[in-house]
Amino acid sequence: MIPNSGSTSSNPMPSNSPNKGDNSKQKLIAIAAVIVVALLAVNAFLLISYNKRGKVNTELTSQLDETEKLKQDLEKQYYEAVTELESMRGSNEELNALIEKQKEELSTQKGKIDQLLANKGSLDKARKEIGNLKAQVQQYLAEVNQLREQNQLLTDDNTRLKDENTNLATTLETEKMTTAQLSSDKAVLVSEREELSKKVSIASVVKVGDIQVVGQKMRKSGKSVSRKNASNIDQLNICFNTTDNQVVAEGPESFYIRIVNPLGETLAVEEMGSGVLTNSSNGEQVRYTQVKEINYNRDANRYCVNWAPSNLEFQKGSYEIEIYNKGYLAGKSTFTLK
């Protein structure tokens, strides 16, 4: 009985083992299939990415090539233009200034295009600006050539004018010598005329003499009495004689009286007719005290004038008196107040 039960319990095991093995294989196959599919998908993704990257790289390489080409074209155009402009320099300052200005503008334009080339998205704009640069260079060269032609015309005109001026200079030199001689002769005549005029003026001066000055005190009656003390006088009475001068025409004559006090000061009060005259002998300005107007008839006559300044204290000491006619000193004297 026991053997039978033992054999009965061991028989099911062999019948279940083959089924489990099949299931494990199927699972492995499924996993492997998934892995294969995943690998295929990854490979496909990588392939697509590689193709896209290759296309991008191709585009970048193309852009780099285009940028480099544009840079080279820009550099070539710029330096050729600068070289050509420099070759047009000369001695004309206006022309050289124009070339310097054009070079600065070209440098600014080149810098602008360099910035556009640095930005990959601005190649079209850079290409357009390079084209504009070509036109700008041609315009500059045309301007310089036009200015050179104008300068050449001016140079030709200057040469012609120089030749004409040389001929004129010869003629003018001759005329200049003639004019110099005439001027010299004229100067001599003017000098002689001035000298003669001066002599005539001096000769026409009416000399004066016997100049006397007396201090006076006014009484209540209106009469004046002579006084010698400076503290006791109200006015000065000045008298002088004119001389006979037949050179002078009859008519009004002015005599300018100058009184100088002991301190060297000219007595002058503008309200009483004082002023300034020019000394005809030396051109100096001379302050005078009073003017005496007379009607001169070529005869010797005596004339008097009073100098009575209010609120003026006379100082004691020696006084000088000068009388001028026509700007020349006609006579002088001195007087003393005690």
Domain ranges of the chain: 25-168, 208-337
Confidence of residue 1 (pLDDT cuts 50, 70, 90): very low
Q: Cα dist. 311→230, 235, 299, 308 in Å?
A: 14, 11, 38, 9
Q: Which helix (H) or strand (E) holds 312?
A: none
pLDDT recorded at residue 2: 41
- Give the strand pairing for 285-288 and 328-337: unpaired
Tell me: pLDDT of 54 over 60.
no
For 16-45, what is each residue's pLDDT tens digit?
A: 555 666 777 778 788 877 887 777 777 677
Matching residue, tokens 């420099």: 86
The CATH-assigned architecture of domain 208-337 is: Sandwich (2.60)
Length of the chain: 338
- Which of residues 140 and 10 earns the better pLDDT score? 140
What is the pTM (predicted TM-score) of this model?
Answer: 0.45
201-251: pLDDT as tens digits: 678 899 999 999 999 888 887 788 888 888 888 889 999 999 988 888 889
The predicted-structure confidence for 74-95, as pLDDT tens digits, reads as follows 788 788 888 888 888 877 888 8
Question: What distances in angstroms separate CA 142 from CA 98, 102, 151, 230, 234, one per listed residue?
Answer: 12, 12, 14, 98, 97
| Residue showing tokens 């544009």 | 70
**Is 66 a residue whose pLDDT tops 70?**
yes
State residue 6's pLDDT score: 45
Structure tokens at 122: 């601005």
Parallel/antiparallel/unpaired status of strands 328-337 and 235-242: unpaired
Side-chain-side CA neighbours of residue 168 (13 Å):
6
